[in-house]
Structure 1
Amino acid sequence: MSSIKLREYEALDYQSLLRLWEITDLGGNERGDNATSIERSLLHDGKLWVLERTESKEIIGCCWLTNDSRRLYLHHLGIHPEYQQKGYGKLLTKRALTHAKNLKMQIKLEVHHTNKIALNIYNQLGFKFLEGYEVMIKRK
């Protein structure tokens, strides 16, 4: 049986991470999620953790936190479909919460309203909806 290791992102992980994002519909270049934006966020006190199968070195999960000096933003928390509903999403979310607590910062996130599994995890861990807010973005 394969064992799973939680570790920090390394630049050599980018292509594997991009494949995971494509499989889980989390991001990619069209959203501005590229190696440069990851490295820039890490230089500004962000964090990116990956879950890796130790034998194959396959990345099966990730959690990216960015830091704007007021709060942390949780992005791209995703688990490969073959490994979902095994507690890995909660493990990554708890890691992010521990990091935020150590920094004495709050975490903000966005989650699609149809992602019931993620919504359940976030509710269990104490996240609350921001009443009255709509999410907007301008990409170009």
Structure 2
Amino acid sequence: MAKPYNIREYCPNDYRGVLTLWQQTGLGGAHRGDNEKTIALSIALGGKFFVVEDTATDTIVGTSWMTFDGRRLHLHHFGIQPQLQKTGIGTDLAIESLAFAKEKKIQVKLEVHKDNLKAINLYRKLGFEYLGDYDVYIIRDVEGLKG
């Protein structure tokens, strides 16, 4: 039986649907520097962006954004529409994403909120290991930097 969703590569027409999903899941938005230009640039630099499309409604119900820094892939904005979580879609999307890493023969790193136990359990099931007791810091507003 065919699955009611399709995992495929992102195309620019997906952007509005991606933003809607990110708003539903709290994964991204303009305040984080997430825009069409950034997505296109990250793909051009060797990354990959997968979307999950509900085949009945043609809506985006999942994303997996893999960026490449020249040394490793970083898995970002991995999420599934809340009402569709725990249905196997996330596992299928993760397997598709990791197949890209395996094809490229490049290690994969991700960050996850320590209280997101559903995601942590999925990542551990797929072979991710806890890197250690690191704190993550970021500067989002580079315009405000001194110097």
Please tell me the TM-score bracket, short chain as reference: over 0.9
Return 124-133 or 63-72, whichever deviates more. 124-133
Corresponding residue of 2:120: 119
- Does the alignment pair 1:13 with 2:17? no
Larger Rg: 2
Whether the 8 Å contact between 1:21 and 1:27 is mirrored in structure 2 is yes
Equivalents in 1 of 2:133, 2:4: separation in Å?
43
Shift of 1:90: 1.2
Equivalents in 2 of 1:2, 1:68: separation in Å?
33
**SS of 1:42 mapped into structure 2:** helix
Instruction: Classify 1:2/1:102 alpha carbon distance in 2 versus 1 (closer, same or farther; 3 Å).
Output: closer
Return 125-134 or 80-89, whichever deviates more. 125-134
Corresponding residue of 1:39: 40
Corresponding residue of 2:57: 56
CA RMSD of aligned residues (A): 1.3
Count residues with an aligned counterpart: 140
Counterpart of 2:107, as a letter, is: Q
Shift of 1:113: 0.8
**Can you give the 5+ residue segments of structure 2 that lack an aligned partner in the other structure?**
142-147
Query: What percent of counterpart residues are identical?
Result: 45
- Does the alignment pair 1:77 with 2:83? no
Equivalents in 2 of 1:19, 1:63: separation in Å?
14
Give the TM-score normalised by the residue count of structure 1: 0.96
Whether the 8 Å contact between 1:62 and 1:78 is mirrored in structure 2 is yes
Corresponding residue of 2:132: 131
- Does the alignment pair 1:26 with 2:16? no
**SS of 1:126 mapped into structure 2:** coil
Counterpart of 1:43, as a letter, is: A
**SS of 1:94 mapped into structure 2:** helix
Counterpart of 1:121, as a letter, is: L
